[in-house]
Amino acid sequence: MNQMKLWMLAAILVIICGVCVITCCGSEDDNPVVSPTDDSSQFVTLTDVVPDAILEIRYYGTYNFVGQRIDGYEEPTALLTKQAAAALKEVSDDVRQQGYRLKIYDAYRPQKGVDHFVRWAADLTATEMKPYFYPNLDKSVLFEQEYIMEKSGHTRGSTVDLTLFDMATEKELDMGGTFDWFGPESHPDFCGNPETGEYTGENSKSSATPKSSITEQQFKNRMILRRAMLAHGFKPLDTEWWHFTLKDEPFPDTYFTFPVKQLNK
């Protein structure tokens, strides 16, 4: 009799535990796996693959919207997953035939760097760089308008921020706006249609300043970069003309934590 009671109690516990797993944890879709790791074995130093790339790693220096070096940037180098770097080599070869080189502002970004952005955005008194990057915005709206978020595709290792360097003029190609400008002027569809490459000259962004615009040549310059990136496997972001992510990124659910510095071969 006692043995029967024990079996019944065990069965009840199994049922209870099973219900708990279903109701407390939810499905995998409701709770996607987001894994942090410091494993850099599937990354490369970008210039080892794309030696023609020019690096201006903004978050290693102080000329950025925070105004100081960002946590996790220990050396002024760029890292990417092997797959993203290989695709970017194809982009580099493409634009070189057109007279340009790639200039990299940021690539892989450790989660520590994203956390630094979040802390900075929460401090509404830290506005030293406002005139240079967000003069038309109150800092209090940066979270609301998603200029700052707690997660970034850069942390997955297959996203890059870049522009074009004109080899004839030996200057950056004029894109009509600076990297990391917080505003509608940074959107790829500002004053034109990025799907067709047509320049309209119309400022359809209601939140932009009335006289804000870019020229037809500036819009065309943005399209040169965009076409090359899309042709070689990258997808754009609808709020930043400089931001692209590998379509078939190898680690869509992994956020890396190792610092930005030269990788040991």
pLDDT at 125: 97
pLDDT at 35: 75
Average pLDDT, the chain: 87
Average pLDDT of the residues in 48-58 = 98
DSSP reduced 3-state for 121: helix
pLDDT band at 34, cuts 50/70/90?
low
Looking at the chain, the whole-number percentage of residues with pLDDT higher than 70 is: 84
pLDDT at 15: 35
DSSP reduced 3-state for 2: helix
* pLDDT above 70: residue 116: yes
The reply to whether 232 sits in an annotated binding site is no
Q: Active site residue: 74, 172, 216, 240, which one?
A: 240
Residues facing residue 36 across a β-bridge: 255
Burial of 164 (0-12, 13-18, 19+ CB in 10 A): buried
pLDDT at 254: 94
User: Is-contact 39 33, C-beta < 8 A?
Assistant: no
Average pLDDT of the residues in 5-12 = 44
Residues facing residue 237 across a β-bridge: 240
Quick one: how many helices (H) and strands (E) in the chain? 6, 12
Domain borders along the chain are 38-176+224-256
pLDDT at 205: 55
pLDDT at 204: 60
AA letter at 153: G
Average pLDDT of the residues in 215-228 = 98
- Name the architecture of domain 38-176+224-256: 2-Layer Sandwich (3.30)
Looking at the chain, the whole-number percentage of residues with pLDDT higher than 90 is: 80
Average pLDDT of the residues in 39-64 = 97
The reply to whether 243 sits in an annotated binding site is yes
For residue 88, give the nearest of 114, 108, 116, 69 by alpha carbon: 108
* pLDDT above 60: residue 247: yes
* pLDDT above 70: residue 262: yes
* pLDDT above 80: residue 251: yes
* pLDDT above 60: residue 13: no
Residue located via tokens 């931001």: 243
For residue 161, give the nearest of 244, 85, 72, 77 by alpha carbon: 244
**Pairing mode of beta strands 159-166, 171-172:** antiparallel
Average pLDDT of the residues in 144-165 = 95
Q: What is the pLDDT of residues 168-207, one digit of tens each?
A: 999 999 999 999 999 999 999 999 999 999 999 977 655 5
- DSSP secondary structure letters along 159-215: EEEEEEEETTTTEE---SS-TT--SGGGSTTTTEETTTTEE------TTS-TT----
240 is catalytic: yes
Q: How far is 197 from 6, CA to CA, in rounded Å?
A: 73
Weakest mean pLDDT among 89-103, 153-167, 192-206? 192-206
Q: How far is 212 from 123, CA to CA, in rounded Å?
A: 28
pLDDT at 1: 47
* pLDDT above 50: residue 160: yes
Burial of 36 (0-12, 13-18, 19+ CB in 10 A): exposed
The reply to whether 161 sits in an annotated binding site is yes
